[in-house]
A and B are shown apart, each in its own frame.
Chain A
Amino acid sequence: MLTKLDRLILKELQNNFPVSSRPFAEVCSKFDLSEEELIRKVRSLKRRKLIRYAGAIFETKKLGIKSTLIAMRVPEKSLPKVTKIINSYSQVSHNYLRNGEYNIWFTLSAGSKPLLAALLKEIKQKTAIEDVLDLETVRVFKINARFNLKSK
């Protein structure tokens, strides 16, 4: 499905996307392609959903956004109701059902710590779930959703 050329292109533009007026013109010679050909290739990879997003990812912490990971122990029968409540918050970006006694895991973000605490309190009240872990970040060792594309 992915050709060797596809992999090379994805790898280069994932790691070294040029911040310049014509980024594709700058790197196309590495692939022995013209600027137009490279753009066509990248568009096709996007259409095939191999590229999720093209653009900038901000470090939310440096924008003053406070985030945390919440784990909840939710009884099976309450799952649909609780999921609906949690997902209704725009401040929740990810929510997963996982195996284990704590089965609901979601990320919560807000503009300040007090706002974050208030949001969590509200979610606890609305869902009526008592066993909730606020897994605050103590330290970030690695944050890098970059993937190594082996050419094989």
Chain B
Amino acid sequence: MKPDKKFILALNRPLGIIKMPFAPVAKKLGWDEEKLLKAIKAYKNLGVIRRLGLILAHREIGLRSNVLVAWNVAKKDIMFAAYIFCKTEEVSHCYQRKTYVSWPYNIYTMIHGRNRRDCLRIVKALSGTSKIKDYRELFTLKELKKRKADIWLLTR
């Protein structure tokens, strides 16, 4: 069940840090606040709204380094490796992706640390526990673009 586009558009912008942050959103929609709060709760429960609240800038809270690690995991070991990776706090994302002959890595983890050495230490520990020895550490050399996707444009 998808919310209507008016709702998405209104909620896909920053909330004001004010006493009643949802009131202006409701006003914009022409809804009463109660209806908006109910709808937000319902879509949160459905997982359509993944998160609501403060999104922190990880660089600023002391996690200055991150590394994307691509792991080559045998099919039978995927669940075990994913379990090890997911229960690790420093891993923010863990995905299985399509592979190619020139690129056999199937599991991707985003790892955050205080610095590069910290990241490498975490990767080493994950490799030790999961017993996955074939992996690639893909550090960001340069952030070329980073911005919130324009949901409105994409669903239109």
Task: Check if B12 sits within 8 Å of A90, measured CB to CB.
Answer: no
**Is residue A126 contacting chain B, with contact meaning CB distance below 8 A?**
no
Beta-carbon nearest neighbor of A51 in chain B:
B54
Given A53-B148, A147-B61, A35:B91 Cβ within 8 A: no
Beta-carbon nearest neighbor of A88 in chain B:
B145
Number of A positions contacting B (CB below 8 A): 78
Q: Please, how many angstroms separate the alpha-carbon atoms of A110 and B139 in the complex? A: 26
Task: Check if A65 sits within 8 Å of B103, measured CB to CB.
Answer: no
Interface string of A83-97 (1 = CB under 8 A from B): 100110011111111
Interface centre among B57, B86, B92, B146 (most CB of A within 10 A): B57
- The size bracket of the interface on B is 35 or more
B interface residues with partner A (beta carbon < 8 Å): 2, 8, 11-23, 33, 37, 40-41, 44, 46-58, 60-63, 68, 82, 85-86, 89, 91-98, 100, 102-103, 106, 108, 112, 136-151, 153-156
- Some 30 contacts from A to B, beta carbons below 8 A apart, are A2-B61, A19-B40, A19-B41, A22-B20, A25-B19, A51-B55, A52-B57, A54-B14, A54-B15, A56-B49, A57-B55, A59-B47, A60-B151, A65-B154, A83-B144, A93-B146, A93-B148, A95-B145, A97-B140, A98-B139, A103-B141, A106-B145, A111-B155, A134-B98, A135-B97, A136-B98, A138-B98, A141-B86, A141-B94, A143-B95
